[in-house]
Amino acid sequence: MKQERDTLLEFPCQFSVKAMGLASHPDFEALITEIVATHVPDLPGDACRSRASSNGKYLSVTVTFQATSKAQLDAIYYALTDHDDVVMSL
């Protein structure tokens, strides 16, 4: 019997996570960077980019990094979605 894998990703690989929150947050990009950096210790300084929604109410922050495992990705998603200032994470 074949052993099933938990993910189709092959690690290590480049991976991007996106988090959305209110643009009125004083420093939403720094918050998301800090959350991801706790799980990605060698996060490069240029790993983040942000974009405001068309009406300016929301801000999306995308962080691209070298993912090392599914457990790492799960921990990042749990940390992001657990934070009160994060409306959604993809």
**Do the domain assignments include residue 2?**
no
Domain span at residue 34 reads 13-89
| Each residue's pLDDT tens digit, 24-78 | 999 999 999 999 999 998 999 899 999 999 999 999 999 999 999 999 999 999 9
**Residue 4 banded pLDDT, cuts 50, 70, 90:** very low
Whether 5 shows a pLDDT value over 70: the answer reads no
Beta strands in 30-84 (DSSP E): 48-52, 58-67
**Residue 6 banded pLDDT, cuts 50, 70, 90:** confident
**Do the domain assignments include residue 26?**
yes
Cα separation of 89 and 61, whole Å?
9
Q: How many domains does the chain have?
A: 1
pLDDT of residue 7: 83
Beta strands in the chain (DSSP E): 13-22, 48-52, 58-67, 88-89
pLDDT of residue 44: 92
With contact defined as beta carbons under 8 Å apart, do 17 and 66 qualify?
no
Nearest alpha carbon to residue 41 among 72, 10, 78: 72
Give the three-state DSSP class for 38: coil
With contact defined as beta carbons under 8 Å apart, do 13 and 47 qualify?
no
The CATH number of the domain holding residue 55 is 3.30.70.260
Whether 1 shows a pLDDT value over 50: the answer reads no
**Do the domain assignments include residue 76?**
yes
Whether 3 shows a pLDDT value over 70: the answer reads no
pLDDT of residue 61: 98
Nearest alpha carbon to residue 63 among 44, 38, 81: 44
